[in-house]
Structure 1
């Protein structure tokens, strides 16, 4: 069944593949964004783009009109609590707008005992708000995405920040997007948490070495201690690095909270890291 679906966070690294997949399957996709001009340049006239902000309930209400589904893909490490507040606004507005399904991107390590980290606390609270809303939902609890690997490379250096010894089942964003589309098309995994785990487990260093070997062979993988990364962020005013450091402190201690062999109604991602790298290298 084709639907009108509002995508909140539809222009980002993980939201854009979902946006394109839902549209490719014949759904009417509407993108809510604070930067509509940039979104139009990115997606073109095929997509309906509306200006709005998750902190503004009026703009949310207008954007949701006529939508059967709302997909939420938010992440702001600089202001983690913005995501919680945004989701709470969404679930307040959605019932009055007639929304029949909410899908939400959370994380594979999100559980109460890990809420000492602000990013996990905000996603945990967002999950709770969605479950309490009474609207049928699917929460996608995803591991590390392969699509983030290029962000670890600067010039000829690929940095592993901190002691990242825990393995993660890296997943391709396109596989995740297919799972979201299937949830809407087949009305599956309703009122469920779905773990999104790729077929292979690698540490960050192992994944980066594979990526660099196949995509950026001039880059060398090296380790950067957290204390030195913190010093660099302060000395050179690197806000992006400073905002990322709490996450790397977190992933030193916390791993996936899921069984990669568990079966879910939406199917398991199948793209291997090598396959993804080969595709990226050919683009």
Structure 2
């Protein structure tokens, strides 16, 4: 019930904010009527797993790319080295956002809150402010990256917020496209491939949830294809890989390719749900409880995948050009094993990274 109440509150808030945003846009639209280059795009979340690939792909395709970066100790120098420009702003501070869109034709929003940040402040309040700025500045296209089936899990805070943000964007009057993502190959590397190679324990659950992972480079290619096509305006598209994998199947694949055996610690989904219920009763542990909310998804044994036939046609993408997880891991482990041989490593592989 708490999740449903939160969703209703966010939806009601989105309607009010949408009306406010449209009123503000009518007042400020005249400021944004100066022609801007059609190839100018703003990437929000350009240092993330997907965002950096979107930046590289966009630059390769000839776009003039500007990236929103937050002031931090580790500057995003690599974005500028690639040829993008950067502007400092923060979704948690809406006053920093309007200047980022001056001279911009399209926005690609790949950002999400970090584990230590408030999802409601960044992914809801920050995104509402971002969309309102896009309204006011006359942005021509807005691509929003969301989560698979986010509208079906109101009890999962981040999925609930993504769903409400989709609704707010749909009511904004912008030429939007929502892209719902299932999972990235890159996450498999950090969660399974590297720990198994280093003889470290990996965590699993006893559910039968399956995920059709995609390479972030393929997602970036699809994202730019969606931006180029008028046929994707006003659409919500789910992007998934060629095959859906269970956690156990991913672990077995990594074991076979690395010639290793994983030390698997299995956690029952019922235990995750009980721990979450306990943490929810403790105010100081709310963030941890929110992260455990994905146990609700795991316990449903869902398949995070969709038939991509029509989407491939819509985006003019050859299905054969999309890399599957098995091929991706074969290439990854092939590079690893080659380097291990070059340095003379045999049994001791601890802390070896590429």
Quick check: TM above 0.5?
Answer: yes
Tell me the equivalent position of 1:213.
256
Give the structure with higher Rg (CA): 2
1:14-69 residue CA offsets vs partner (Å, 9 max, x unmatched): 21111111111110111101146634333343111111011333321101111111
Tell me the equivalent position of 2:53.
17
| CA contact 1:165–1:203 (8 Å) conserved in 2 | yes
Q: Map 1:153-168 to 2 at 5 A.
A: 153=192, 154=195, 155-168=198-211
Tell me the equivalent position of 2:89.
52
| CA contact 2:184–2:213 (8 Å) conserved in 1 | yes
Secondary structure in 2 matching 1:200? coil
| CA contact 2:156–2:296 (8 Å) conserved in 1 | no
C-alpha distance in 2, partners of 1:279/1:49?
32
Please state if 1:138 is matched with 2:177.
yes
Distance 1:103 1:254, change over 3 A: farther
Q: CA deviation at 1:98?
A: 2.2
| CA contact 1:5–1:29 (8 Å) conserved in 2 | yes
Tell me the equivalent position of 1:180.
223
C-alpha distance in 2, partners of 1:14/1:278?
21
Tell me how many residue pairs correspond in the alignment.
277
TM-score (norm 2): 0.69
C-alpha distance in 2, partners of 1:139/1:14?
15
C-alpha distance in 2, partners of 1:50/1:216?
46
Q: CA deviation at 1:87?
A: 1.4
C-alpha distance in 2, partners of 1:116/1:134?
28
Q: CA deviation at 1:257?
A: 6.7
Secondary structure in 2 matching 1:150? helix
1:122-154 residue CA offsets vs partner (Å, 9 max, x unmatched): 101110111111110111111121110123244
Select between 131-140 and 44-53 the one with higher mean Cα deviation: 44-53
Select between 242-251 and 161-170 the one with higher mean Cα deviation: 242-251
TM-score (norm 1): 0.85
Which protein is richer in helix relative to its size? 2
Tell me the equivalent position of 1:86.
126
Q: CA deviation at 1:74?
A: 2.4
Tell me the equivalent position of 1:129.
168
Distance 1:66 1:50, change over 3 A: same
Among 291, 294, 301, which residue is 1:247 paired with? 294
Distance 1:241 1:172, change over 3 A: farther
Select between 254-263 and 38-47 the one with higher mean Cα deviation: 254-263
Distance 1:56 1:259, change over 3 A: same
